[in-house]
Structure 1
């Protein structure tokens, strides 16, 4: 008799695969680096290019930047002038002229009140200074994204609470450092120079912004040091010109900083 047919495979058995699966097209790209992670040769993070960019963009948007700067500078001058006028008038009202031509206070309490008022005034000025900084940072970032800039952009504080807290924390840290023989204050200013940028640009919480700024400066020491020095020189020259130079120096410094901040993050900057 003919041989029996081969036994069929059990029902439900899977047939052999028609062929091996093709190899993967390639490994997935590595995740993007977090803020402040070590960066390899940031493209274009050059302080000379940053200054040139800031100078060009300042005059291309002079209407918004110069007017906003003028408002800030004049406003500060008025506030400071009013405070010292009131303080001086109060001191004269509680003083008497002695026979030797000197003045002496007739109110022991005024000295304490004057000291307290001066302390509060300094705190207010520091806070207002950081709000001005936040306004210029917002305007400068708009330029780096290629967006049109209006005067109103410098007075928008959509994250007002977060900006105030970040400003106070930064100011306190730098202030304490400056009181400790000044050098620690410079170090603190170096590591915290990008805090408000992260708060305004990335919407970070204050603690996260502090860490991101620290890491970005730490991992880019050379460019960050040059940035701090260049901005300081710009502001010093502006202040030396009877304060009038600040009308140009203030926006220029923040445009340079905004350019470097985004380049250090390897982000594209609008030409």
Structure 2
């Protein structure tokens, strides 16, 4: 387990450091787009909420309508960032696949991947969200068991086949998969504190998953090409 995880971490780090322009420029663009969408939704929410609050101020009865309206608008803004995140994931996955094959991705290749990977990421996200709504634990289980779905799609699997392959691979290597998930959770928590690490977070996570997928599938990880 230590060898597989160490190898995957080293691959993810080297792949990111040797292709910083492609990954970080794509990450910066998607981060700015997501920030603008959320900020715009909050701005619209305040514009709509404040007049409603002024109208209800003289009343002695608390009115949750304006607050619910605000959060509803912000939720719509958050939902609009979902396709942005999916495109970011698929671009990182596509770039990671090129690195596995000995290439060096361009900015355009790191921006978006093929529809097969996009649909796989979307399906994984829907399953996790539904599982989270169902008392949280099923969502946590889905997050762990579907960790290798996107890497499987990178290697050519259809969305349905990628889901099945990930479940089987995670089940057969459950301890390693859980530890990988925990390590990734810690890295995500730390990286979320700084802007520069946030824009590298999605590609690093995808590259780590790709590395673990390759190792657990019995394939050696290549040395990422240098500039």
* TM-score using structure 2 length: 0.83
Structure 1 residue 154, shift from structure 2 partner = 1.5
Return the alpha-carbon distance in structure 1 between the equivalents of residues 83 and 20 of structure 2.
Answer: 26
Output aligned runs, 1:1-271, within 5 Å.
46-96=4-54, 98-99=57-58, 117-159=73-115, 162-202=116-156, 204-241=157-194, 243-271=195-223
Match of 1:15 in 2: none
Structure 1 residue 251, shift from structure 2 partner = 2.3
The answer on whether the counterparts of 1:198 and 1:209 sit within 8 Å (CA) in structure 2 is yes
Structure 1, unmatched stretches of 5+, are: 1-40
Task: Indicate how the Cα distance of structure 1 residues 113 and 158 shifts in structure 2: closer, same or farther if over 3 A, else same.
Answer: same
Return the alpha-carbon distance in structure 2 between the equivalents of residues 152 and 252 of structure 1.
Answer: 18
Task: Indicate how the Cα distance of structure 1 residues 52 and 112 shifts in structure 2: closer, same or farther if over 3 A, else same.
Answer: closer
Task: Indicate how the Cα distance of structure 1 residues 92 and 54 shifts in structure 2: closer, same or farther if over 3 A, else same.
Answer: same
The answer on whether the counterparts of 1:95 and 1:103 sit within 8 Å (CA) in structure 2 is no
The answer on whether the counterparts of 2:93 and 2:151 sit within 8 Å (CA) in structure 1 is yes
Task: Indicate how the Cα distance of structure 1 residues 225 and 46 shifts in structure 2: closer, same or farther if over 3 A, else same.
Answer: same
Stretches of 4+ moved more than 6 A in 1?
Answer: 100-103, 110-113
Structure 1 residue 85, shift from structure 2 partner = 0.9
The 3-state SS of whatever aligns with 2:203 is: helix
